[in-house]
Structure 1
Amino acid sequence: MRPIGYYVHHHGFGHWQRAAALARLLRRPCTLLGTFPESVTRAAPCPVVPLPDDAPTGAEPPDPGGVPGLHYAPLGHDGLRRRVARMAGWIAEARPALMVVDVSVEVALLSRLMSTPFLYVRLAGLRDDPPHLAAFRAAAALLAPFPRPLEAEGMPEGMPDWVLDRTFHAGFLAGPSIRPSEGGGILAVFGRGGSGGDAEALALAARATPRWRWRAIGLLRGDAAPPPNLELLGWREDARPLLAGADLVIGGAGDGLLAEVAALGKRFLCLPEPRPFGEQHHKARRLAALGAAVVREAWPAAEDWPALLAQAMALDPGRIAALHDPGALARCAAFIDAEADRAARPGQ
């Protein structure tokens, strides 16, 4: 049976988490392709093709950004050259029935140039630029890792309607169910995809709300001393037990955190982080419109926290829980397998 190739973007950790979760459920054999440390890939549920890093080195001229169909194609970058060669070699040898691309316009177009159909993971936000539209047109279908209600009544202003018509809304792709509880106080979550949280601002928020127990996980910048009601727990590979016990979760609008908060039905104070194409801000505005979260566009001032926590605790957790589909992962895996079956016709 011809395999499925799954390209995993290495910015943040949510791409890897959903790829690994889906790979466990696919009927066809699957291979993940990406740039991750061995500590991550050795726990993968399927083979992994490690790719050379294509991050800017400073030695090559900056990408002029003037190629209408591409996002990232710096000249003279040996890592990028070896990365593309390794992907092309694997596609030529393995002859995958389908590629899943999460996410890269360049990898999507490489797949198509190698006569291989692909599903493109369409993230939220206004993605009406020529590179995205080229990938959207060339894809066998688009896969959105969030539920349809986060699209509002249609596409973001400026996005063509045909993009929505080509999109399969997988829903939030959360892991196995876990029993939620309460009594854990506030859990502030800072993922890998941004610059991390501000330790001083976090400490000021905790000091302003001394009756609340605060815990924080993830990346923090700065070294402000935490007050007695704030515990810094560092990076956690599995945050779900802490999320399950929290009374209120504070964090950005990344797909991974949203999936877990919705699955657990947790009250959520959403502080969207800057991302390309307004991805997190778009989702956060929809959460606010649905009454599923309290949203602030920037980290609140210390004096605003007491009233803000009261507002967040008044949320109906059923609103965000309604966005969770417990069968989303299985339904998404079945969709990918079906697309691969359709593509793997004899003679192709």
Structure 2
Amino acid sequence: MIGYYVHHHGRGHVTRAGSLLPHLPSGTEVTGLSSLPRPKGWPQLWVQLDPDADADPFDLPEDATAGGTFHWVPRGHSGLRSRMSTISRWIDATRPDVVVVDTSVEVATLCRLHGVPVVSLIQPGDRTDPPHTLGLGLAERLVAPWPADVADVVRGVAPDDPRLVHVGAFSRFDGREPLPTAVAPTEDGTRNVVVLSGAGGSALTTKALDRARASTPGWTWTLLGGPDGTWVDDPWAALCRADVVVTHAGQNALAEVAAARRPAVVIPQERPHDEQRTSAAALAADGRLPVVVLQEFADDGWPDVLDHVAGLDGCAWQRWNDGQGARRLAAVVLEVAGRVGA
């Protein structure tokens, strides 16, 4: 039995979990654990946990971090108590060989306290705080979903840590054949830019997008996600039609753009631990990936930016996502599970 804990924020974590399943041997039992509802198409067991995030994390109740030891353990919170006891009961009933945690210091700690080995997917950014030191320190394996030759993606994990495995980025689109070039422009010569806003929150405003549209008459803009855009469960076709993708720097969004081999404008959003800003800085510093990084959605200059990015070679995303990342993650998980069952 393999457990897979899925963080509730956005859609990236749950999408990543689904990417693993096809690479596990037939008959492998997997249980998803999350406060999110069971995702459409999830073929195995799913334990929906009570939420513990109803309070504003920037308006913390008293001692919500247990003196700085954890990120979120508010005293007397019924949701926290319920979800932790549910996980404990599940562990006792199923005796899992390993739990993949994406991501939660508290869940990783709970599983390890039950004697269950943990494989933790690590996030970019500054992970040097005491909770991350605890949670990452007890993991059997630390999985980095980016390539080893892209530097300075995370702080708080030593590059030579023997538990660290770089599997590369992966997405639900791995295995699909990306188009080598964008489709031809429309009859009037316009080109396509797709904006990925995502479900995790965005600083992009309708006014800013309208200004960008007005300044780029040769481009058609399509907004996917966010409060003002269209949510598409499978954006593959839209990505493949794009000459340029404008995206935030979330790991799943980057992996999907890379799978489609589309050049991108990357605009990091504010996230805890500087997650997206660190990712974007690493992409920019690498210099070999088909991206231009902007610190915010620009008020002007879009014609030049789009023309420049459209000329980048989207196939260079192969370094970031070669289509084998989920397979490598499966190998790590099975290796840890096999040592437990041996």
What's the TM-score, normalizing by structure 2? 0.89
Cα drift, residue 57 of structure 1: 4.3
C-alpha distance in structure 2 between counterparts of 1:52 and 1:12, whole Å = 17
Retained in 2: the 8 A contact 1:119–1:140? yes
Confirm or deny that 1:287 pairs with 2:293. no
- Whole-Å separation in 2 of the counterparts to 1:284 and 1:160: 18
Residues of 1 paired with 2:251 and 2:125: CA distance? 12
Name structure 1 gaps, 5 residues minimum. 222-231
1:319 Cα deviation after fit = 2.6
Match of 1:245 among 241, 244, 264: 241
* Superimposed CA distance per residue, residues 120-142 of structure 1 (whole angstroms, 9 cap, x where no aligned partner): 11111110111111111111110
What is the one-letter code of the residue matched to 1:141?
A: R
Offset at residue 68 of structure 1 (A): 3.0
Counterpart secondary structure, 2:149: helix
Amino acid at match of 2:50: P
Instruction: Describe the superposition over 1:261-298 as per-residue Cα deviations: whole angstroms up to 9, x where unpaired.
Output: 11221111000111111111111112112332100111
| Structure 1 position 8, deviation (Å) | 0.5
Cα distance change, pair 249–162 in 1 and its aligned pair in 2 (3 A): closer
Q: Which of 163, 172, 190 is residue 197 of structure 2 equivalent to? A: 190
The aligned amino acid for 1:182 is V
Cα contact 1:199–1:220 (8 A) shared by 2: no
Match of 1:317 in 2: 314
Query: Letter of the aligned partner of 1:26 in structure 2?
Result: L
User: Does the Cα contact within 8 Å between 2:120 and 2:139 map onto a contact in 1?
Assistant: yes
What residue identity is the alignment partner of 1:344?
G
Separation in structure 1 between the aligned mates of residue 197 and residue 157 of structure 2, nearest angstrom: 33
The answer to whether the 8 Å contact 1:7/1:33 transfers is yes
The residue aligned with 2:102 is 102
Give the secondary-structure state (helix, strand or coil) at the position aligned to 1:10. Answer: coil
* Counterpart pick for 1:277 among 265, 273, 279: 273
The amino acid of 1:52's aligned partner reads D
Query: What is the TM-score of this pair, normalised by structure 1?
Result: 0.88
Q: Distance in 1 between matches of 2:284 and 2:149?
A: 12
Cα distance in 2 for partners of 1:24, 1:83 equals 28
- Percent identical among aligned pairs is 34
**Aligned residue in 2 for 1:6:** 4
Output the amino acid matched with 2:93.
Answer: E
The one-letter code matched in structure 2 to 1:126 is D
Q: Cα gap change, 1:162/1:213 in structure 2, threshold over 3 Å: closer, same or farther?
A: closer
Q: Aligned pair count?
A: 326
Moved more, 191-200 or 4-13: 191-200
1:314 Cα deviation (Å)? 2.8
Name the SS of the counterpart of 1:115 in structure 2. coil
CA contact (8 A) 2:151 2:286 kept: no
Q: Which residues in structure 2 correspond to 1:102-181 (within 5 Å)?
A: 102-152=102-152, 156=155, 159=156, 161=158, 164-175=161-172, 176-180=175-179, 181=182
Distance (Å, rounded) in 2 between the aligned partners of 1:203 and 1:97: 52
- State the AA in 2 paired with 1:7: Y
Q: How far apart are the structure 1 equivalents of 2:166 and 2:128?
A: 19
- Is the 8 Å Cα contact of residues 127 and 154 (structure 2) preserved in structure 1? no
CA distance in 1, matches of 2:158, 2:142: 13
Q: Residue in 2 aligned with 1:227?
A: none
Q: 1:95 to 1:30 in 2, by over 3 A?
A: same
Give the CA deviation at 1:317. Answer: 2.1
Residue 34 (1) aligns with residue 34 (2): yes
Mapped contact 2:6–2:14 kept (Cα < 8 A) = yes
8 A Cα contact 1:60 1:76, kept in partner: no
SS of structure 1 residue aligned to 2:321? coil
Q: Greater CA deviation, 4-13 or 288-297?
A: 288-297
Q: CA deviation at 1:171?
A: 0.8
Equivalent of 1:56 in 44, 51, 54: 54
Question: Amino acid of the residue matched to residue 115 of structure 1?
Answer: G
Structure 2 residue identity aligned to 1:147: P
- Stretches of structure 2 that go unaligned for 5 or more consecutive residues are 185-190
Distance in structure 1 (CA, Å) of the matches to 2:160 and 2:281? 20
Partners in 2 of 1:178 and 1:149 — Cα distance? 25
1:197: Cα distance to partner?
3.0
CA distance in structure 1 between the partners assigned to 2:220 and 2:301 by the alignment: 17
For residue 161 of structure 1, give the secondary structure of its aligned residue in structure 2. coil
List per-residue Cα deviations over 1:294-328 (Å, max 9, x = no partner). Answer: 00111111x22122212222323233233221222
Counterpart-to-counterpart distance in 1, 2:20 and 2:49: 20
Q: CA deviation at 1:64?
A: 4.2
Checking the alignment, whether the CA contact within 8 Å between 1:267 and 1:316 is kept in structure 2 is yes
How far has the Cα of 1:151 moved from its partner?
2.9
